[in-house]
Structure 1
Amino acid sequence: MYALIQDDDTKSQNLAKEMPEIELYRVNGSTNKIPLLLIKQIIKRRKKPKAVILRYLNDSTSFIKSIIRFITNLVTVFLSKLLGVRLIWICHNVDKESKEYFPYLVRLRRKIVTKFSDKILVTDKLLIKHAAKILKVNEAKIDFITFGNPSINQNHNTNDLGQEIIEFIQKNNNENTLFGLSIGNPNKKVLQPFYTIDLIEKAIKFGVDLKIILGGPLSDFIKKHDMDTYKKLIDNPNVLFLDGKVKVNESYISQFIDFYWRVYDDYSVPFTVYNAAYLKKPILTMGKGFLSEMVFEYELGSILENNMSNVVNAIKNLEKDRTRSYDQFTETHNWSIGAKQLYKIIISE
């Protein structure tokens, strides 16, 4: 048995490793290849796949390329229905795609895939009720999968960036200082860069010394949205601003930090949740989007009020021993469980 799955990335690779009963044929590169590869694999193997698994429905900056993606999505749906192959959509982003340049086309693609999918899978069981409401489908059509132990880079604990982080921490490591880590790619849903200065300043008013390590290719993104915030971030001595791709051994760095700092306004599961839980570090977030619900329900950290009026209590709460919560999370959120869930859906009739 085999199934086609969109994207040959860490997530699909780990799910495939944990699912030996069925081969996950990973479509590397452009999603536009899916219809051709579907036909090619059927001819080559002389049998149909059990399922075609779609994932991200991201847009392109080019209108022509967006039209092509729309058409290939249509063809994929049509072929799946014509051939009697199960169509499964892993809906990583419940309310919106990460990249939307032509929103009407993206909404139309999402509506078509929602309507014709045999099953929609969200990336946490807590998202099921939100997906039913947002996608306007019956909860019976929705199930969930999980991810698991992050593939944490083990080769960069002594590189320049790793050393810069450690030196920043050692230089500022006073008795009451707390260090937060926030490394990731820019995106409209990623809000913590725009709240970092406010967090630091509110904490200072109450005598709390916070240092934030903010890393990723963020400069152009922040400048485009708020030049004043960018200037404050690079000028603030409490912020280590690392612009560009940041590759460090997070497992090694985690021993020097106190918490992860993340704020999202969408309904998706950031991989930071897995990093934090597996490395046993709390998450500091705000009452926005789905991340705050995960942090609350699974007891993975602290939630700031949107006006940060509870900053002292939220930061103090980071010191709580959450070992049991981290263990429970990793026991119920791992690649094996995700693979079993996906396998169950693939072979369902």
Structure 2
Amino acid sequence: MTGAIKRARRIFMQGKDFKAIHWAAHLEVQVIHFSTFREMCSILRSSDSGDLVIYRYQNNPRSFLASLAVWVVMVLQVAKARIWGQSVVWICHNVDRETQPYHPRIQGLRRRLLVRFADEVFVLDPAFVTHCTRSDAKPISFGIKEGGEVSSANRAQIEKLAQRVDRVVLIAGQDGGKYKAFCRIPEVYSHFSKLGLTVGFVCAGMAQSRSFGSRIEQNLLRIVEPNLRESELSHLVDYIYRENADISVPYSIYAAATAEIPVLTRDDNILAEIVQRERIGTVLGQPEERPNRQYDFKGFLKRHDWRSLRNRLYESEILP
């Protein structure tokens, strides 16, 4: 913490994605979302001491000059906040590194700026606090998933798959980089084979070009659903596999808990600690926990909801 906390009457929040929108819905003050460079620059014109700027992801654009410009504007914004008595908060989604690797030195400067001068730094799970370079970081969370859909054609295909295998594993999202779920399909296949179970995979994401050999491919279904509603598949899908290579919380674990589908992951990443602590999933190599009543999906969503950001800002006396 950098000094006396200022009470916010208006909030500028980075991002216009569904996470920012859900958090903002509970803040009970005016929230202005910014994402473009022009919108970011417009904050510099604010001179109200009751303003709060919430930064989130610190990914750089591909262009070095554009990345440098963003860094300069951030320095000016933080300096102005201190001069005008405004508050600065950083929601650190990725504790160890950003998802996009462009110009890491500038990313490092941006992150160090926020670690040094933000009034509060929030991370997305209690397990991340000890990994954060800000010793007084506090945890917040996402919340229940709303919306989405599954087309009738895709549902029919998944139903057919579920009829011919013992277990169905859903993998959705991006592929490559920090996203490791799709490349683990052979390992997941081996896990269930050792248990004497046949397994089928529903791939709803960006792994359309991957090939896994005939034994896996015969029970692998590739679908396209821009906004998948996992809860419509709770009677067909046994597990949702997820694994990230960094210290971050994939929103898919909230989607899984909403649908009451256990998360499956490897034992050597921080997500394993979360799903076992919260009793919302299991790890490869462990025996199955069935039926699902042994999991605590409802408890997880009760302990973690979209009001967490608001509650932390109240505790810090940033919100009036």
Cα deviations across residues 66-105 of structure 1 (Å, max 9, x unaligned)?
A: 2222222222222222222111100011011111122222
Q: Distance in 2 between matches of 1:128 and 1:302?
A: 23
Q: Distance in 2 between matches of 1:63 and 1:245?
A: 34
Give the residue type in structure 2 aligned to 1:145.
I
Cα distance change, pair 236–191 in 1 and its aligned pair in 2 (3 A): same
After TM superposition, list the pairs within 5 Å mapping 1:243-282 onto structure 2. 246-282=226-262
Cα distance change, pair 107–289 in 1 and its aligned pair in 2 (3 A): farther
User: How far apart are 1:214 and its partner, in Å?
Assistant: 1.3
User: How far apart are 1:246 and its partner, in Å?
Assistant: 3.2
Partner residue of 1:150 out of 135, 145, 156: 145
Cα distance change, pair 83–10 in 1 and its aligned pair in 2 (3 A): same
Partner residue of 1:336 out of 285, 288, 307: 307
Q: Distance in 1 between matches of 2:268 and 2:89?
A: 29
Give the residue type in structure 2 aligned to 1:114.
V
Give the residue type in structure 1 aligned to 2:198.
D
User: How far apart are 1:56 and its partner, in Å?
Assistant: 0.6
User: Normalized per residue, which structure has more helix?
Assistant: 1
Matched, 1:33 2:39: yes
Match of 1:13 in 2: 21
Cα deviations across residues 124-174 of structure 1 (Å, max 9, x unaligned)?
A: 22321221xxx2x32x3x112221111231xx33x3xx5234324324513
Cα distance change, pair 248–296 in 1 and its aligned pair in 2 (3 A): closer
Q: Distance in 2 between matches of 1:17 and 1:245?
A: 26
Q: Distance in 2 between matches of 1:37 and 1:233?
A: 53
Match of 2:11 in 1: 3
Q: Distance in 2 between matches of 1:171 and 1:202?
A: 19
Give identity over the alignment, percent: 23
User: How far apart are 1:335 and its partner, in Å?
Assistant: 1.4
Cα distance change, pair 171–334 in 1 and its aligned pair in 2 (3 A): closer
User: How far apart are 1:59 and its partner, in Å?
Assistant: 1.7
Matched, 1:236 2:217: yes
2:313–2:319 Cα contact (<8 Å) kept: no
- 2:228 aligned counterpart, secondary structure: coil
Cα distance change, pair 151–293 in 1 and its aligned pair in 2 (3 A): same
Q: Distance in 2 between matches of 1:5 and 1:128?
A: 22
User: How far apart are 1:48 and its partner, in Å?
Assistant: 2.9
Q: Distance in 1 between matches of 2:312 and 2:153?
A: 41
Unaligned runs of 5+ in 2: 1-8
Q: Distance in 1 between matches of 2:222 and 2:270?
A: 26
Q: Distance in 1 between matches of 2:186 and 2:282?
A: 18
- Cα RMSD of the aligned pairs, angstroms, is 2.4
1:32–1:72 Cα contact (<8 Å) kept: no
Cα distance change, pair 172–16 in 1 and its aligned pair in 2 (3 A): closer
1:4–1:49 Cα contact (<8 Å) kept: no
- 1:52 aligned counterpart, secondary structure: strand
2:52–2:87 Cα contact (<8 Å) kept: yes
Partner residue of 1:303 out of 269, 283, 287: 283
User: How far apart are 1:189 and its partner, in Å?
Assistant: 1.5
1:287–1:303 Cα contact (<8 Å) kept: yes
User: How far apart are 1:50 and its partner, in Å?
Assistant: 3.5
Cα deviations across residues 249-298 of structure 1 (Å, max 9, x unaligned)?
A: 32212332111111112111111111111211100101233211111111
User: How far apart are 1:187 and its partner, in Å?
Assistant: 4.8
1:182–1:213 Cα contact (<8 Å) kept: yes
Cα distance change, pair 202–124 in 1 and its aligned pair in 2 (3 A): closer
User: How far apart are 1:205 and its partner, in Å?
Assistant: 4.7
Cα distance change, pair 209–115 in 1 and its aligned pair in 2 (3 A): same
Give the residue type in structure 2 aligned to 1:341.
R
Match of 1:227 in 2: none
Cα distance change, pair 25–233 in 1 and its aligned pair in 2 (3 A): farther
TM-score between both structures, scaled by the size of structure 1: 0.81
Give the residue type in structure 1 aligned to 2:189.
I
Match of 1:111 in 2: 112
2:232–2:259 Cα contact (<8 Å) kept: no
Match of 1:226 in 2: none
After TM superposition, list the pairs within 5 Å mapping 1:1-349 onto structure 2. 1-20=9-28, 22-27=29-34, 29-31=35-37, 33-39=39-45, 41-42=46-47, 47-131=48-132, 135=133, 137-138=134-135, 140=136, 142-153=137-148, 156-157=149-150, 159=151, 162-174=152-164, 177-219=166-208, 230-232=210-212, 236-242=217-223, 246-304=226-284, 310=285, 313-314=286-287, 316-317=288-289, 319-323=291-295, 325-345=296-316, 347=318
Cα distance change, pair 233–267 in 1 and its aligned pair in 2 (3 A): farther
User: How far apart are 1:300 and its partner, in Å?
Assistant: 1.0
TM-score between both structures, scaled by the size of structure 2: 0.88
Give the residue type in structure 1 aligned to 2:153.
Q
Count how many residue pairs are aligned between Structure 1 and Structure 2: 311
